[in-house]
Chain A
């Protein structure tokens, strides 16, 4: 298995632009999580899905953030418009019901 695949690995964008991060979970995993990691706040859960349905989005910082999971093999996290304080590493992770998480390699986002 190729593991959790995220793209792009790095993204540099100007303030105000739309950013879309992509994730392909491990086949057969029914939970998908989006996390953000910064030095100051560590890993923060933004949203998670179970069987493609959003279950808890209470960690999404504000309306500029949205996430979708149109099918079991693909999810997106969108930021529109982006701001410099959104700069962070965004991780996608997946798991089967009782297993541990497997993280993707992350997307390092820089908003200038």
Chain B
């Protein structure tokens, strides 16, 4: 089993739709979780950290489910500019500087 797994997609949704991605992780001792966004041929950029209580940033909501070992990202009222690959990132326990990256979920928002 991979340490971090994501559905690669692609997810094709119309503008205004709500879309959700899940990401599962294998090590129950992981403590730090992030969502990064990567545009085509660009570098990854931090979208948001994921906290135990869940957190929201505008149209984006991130949640953590420790019991089932997954994190989720919900995008409401999707925009054309949300089209990108979304990377799930989890720390490897024992070393907070070593992060394990999922392969990403591709999102295409269509007009």
Which A residues contact B (CB, under 8 angstroms)?
A: 31, 33, 42-45, 48, 50, 55-56, 91, 100-101, 103-106
Given A103-B44, A105-B42, A43:B97 Cβ within 8 A: no
In the complex, which of the residues A50, A56, A103, A106 has the most CB atoms of chain B within 10 Å of its own CB atom?
A: A103
Which B residues contact A (CB, under 8 angstroms)?
A: 34, 42-46, 49, 87, 95, 97-99, 101-104
Given A31-B97, A48-B97, A55-B97, A43:B87 Cβ within 8 A: yes
Given A48-B97, A100-B49, A42:B104 Cβ within 8 A: yes
What are the residues of chain A within 8 A of B45 when measuring CB–CB?
A: 103
Closest Cβ of chain A: how far from B27's Cβ, in Å?
16
A44 to B43, CA, bound (A): 14
Closest A residue to B99 by beta carbon equals A45
Q: Which among A44, A56, A103 is the interface contact of B95 at CB below 8 angstroms?
A: A56
Given A42-B101, A43-B87, A103:B43 Cβ within 8 A: yes
Q: Are B102 and A42 in contact (CB under 8 A)?
A: yes
**13 A-B pairs in the complex with CB atoms less than 8 angstroms apart:** A42-B87, A42-B104, A43-B44, A45-B98, A45-B99, A56-B95, A56-B98, A91-B43, A100-B34, A100-B46, A101-B44, A101-B46, A105-B42
Closest B residue to A41 by beta carbon equals B103
What are the residues of chain A within 8 A of B102 when measuring CB–CB?
A: 42
Q: Which among B34, B43, B97 is the interface contact of A106 at CB below 8 angstroms?
A: B43
What are the residues of chain B within 8 A of A104 when measuring CB–CB?
A: 43
What are the residues of chain B within 8 A of A101 when measuring CB–CB?
A: 44, 46, 99
